[in-house]
Amino acid sequence: MNHHFRHVPRPVLVAALLALLPVASAQAFNSGSTGADGVLNPTVNTEVELPASGILNYTTVNIPAGVTVKFKRNTTNTPVYLLASSDVTIAGTIDVTGQDAKATGTYGDGAQGDDGIPGEAGPGGWAGGRGGRDDAQQRAAIIRGGSGLGPGGGPGGVEGADGCTAATGYWKYVGMGGAYASNAVKTYGRNCYNPGVPFTTGYGSALLQPLVGGSGGGGGRGGTNYPGSGGGAGGGAILIAASGTLRITGKIDAQGGDGGGLLGTGAGGQGAGGSGGAIRLVASTVTGNGALSAAGGCINYNNARRQRCGSTGYSDEFGGSEGRIRVEGESITFTGTSTPAYVRGDVGPVFIANSPSLRISSVAGKAVPAAPTGINDVTLPATTTEAVVVQFESINVPVGNTIKLRLVPAYGATSEVVTPAIAGSTAAGTTEVSVTLPQGPSTLQATTTYTVVVASLGDEALGERLKRLADNQTVETVEVTVALEGGARAKLLTRSGQAFDLPYEALSAIGFRS
């Protein structure tokens, strides 16, 4: 029995940003690039190999029209952090998209060796779920589709009626889209909406600190003759930071992948699209008339990609939700398209100080590699049927926080468990929890919540505006909490010691930028 464990890289950890007021006047933006990787100026389509950190240090970047740059994922699947000490010009394409799932049954090339295989994610994102296996007897343990990976991974299709009825309210046999910026709702039939229709919960916030990619769509239930199709992968995550001008006349693409097409008598259920990924742009000047996309994935249908998009659950929609795009600059004159619409912000820190990390250190007493691949990192005997202990190690995560462990089997429903509080110290914490693992391969994913300190802009005028949100009291500290699930929240702490909770949007409305 193989159990697959994926280490959750730095960006998946949930953060709270603590902004202190007032702060010294702003200086010219510095991306932090060392320039060690020189100039990036490809003349043909290029795949750049990401280092272990995911950080690329260029002097200048110039991607000409007609040229596409992709990135080879590193072992721990970090996002792409592309830094430049001068200008970045993108007339071609930067591609961190999630891949489509393979065609299933007689669809497409008709090759059956890859039926049900899900899409692989862009760097920093997560793969789709496998399509359920075919079985003439339609046994639940065989035909259930796999869930997409990631915090918003869509559940797979399950056994049940093949149509939407008043009793079910939704189609059970299809996968559910991956979620990110918003929820992804299970597909339901026209005139058959049921308030109990399940959905995948969105996560993260518009701040994109920390940076995290999109989640995979669920695979479809297996049929009598052919498997279900796999889910599309989540789009990847990329940060581009330029000390000079960032000019985009081409495209930066972090779309989610499509669910695989399927066709044939006795075919299984449709796999769903993965969610869009994340794009964060930071520069002294951001300009151009190009395109930014973190759109959700759709499905392959009628021999065409990107069909039946959307994540509201309406009967023609099998897609994942949109991802997130954020643009920060001292001057922003970008006039191109953005899907979804980008969030505008002042220049913030490129990286969180004292960046935390979280890892699964052992399972059932077996050590997990320091740089796990997510494939056969730990193998347990098939006789392992009792609960096993999963141990965690954390760095720069305050003690007292808990860890959510998500167990994703290759086929069937996911489960979650919360650990006891982290013990030890902020510098080196540990905790553990007991779980029962299903037969066959599984992926374990861990997330936590922590608080770190970063700088933010502040001035007397802003202080006066903050007073209006705090019963006219002087605000000394602003805490902005970025939760993995749900939107950002803020807390104003006054000189008198009172605290006022409010949505982050209320701060944005008065000009606060974290």
Strands 442-448 and 403-409, sheet pairing: antiparallel
pLDDT of residue 356: 76
**Which residue is listed with tokens 């994340």?**
278
- DSSP letters along 82-131, please? EEESS-EEESSEEE-PPPPPPPEETSTT---TTTTPPPPPPTTS-PPPPP
- pLDDT-based confidence at residue 312 (cuts at 50, 70, 90): confident
CB 314, CB 188: distance < 8 Å: yes
Burial class for 514, CB neighbours closer than 10 Å (0-12, 13-18, 19+):
buried
pLDDT of residue 167: 62
pLDDT of residue 7: 36
Question: Cα(254)–Cα(239) distance, rounded to whole angstroms?
Answer: 11
Residue 512 scores a pLDDT above 90: no
- 164-219: per-residue pLDDT in tens? 666 667 788 999 999 999 999 888 765 565 556 788 889 888 888 889 999 999 99
- 290-308: per-residue pLDDT in tens? 999 999 999 999 989 999 9
Of 187, 251, 170, 177, give the one whose Cα is nearest residue 219.
177
Phi-psi region of 306 (alpha: psi -120 to 50; beta: other; left: phi over 0): left
- 415-444: per-residue pLDDT in tens? 999 999 999 998 999 999 999 988 888 899
- 350-389: per-residue pLDDT in tens? 987 777 788 899 999 999 988 777 777 899 888 888 899 9
- DSSP letters along 330-374, please? EEE---SEEESPPEEE----SS-TT--EEEEEEETTEEPPSS--S
Question: Cα(397)–Cα(10) distance, rounded to whole angstroms?
Answer: 11
Residue 182: DSSP 8-state? S
Sign of the CA dihedral with 206 first, then 312, 151, and 262 last:
negative
**Which residue is listed with tokens 């603590």?**
18
Residue 5 scores a pLDDT above 50: no
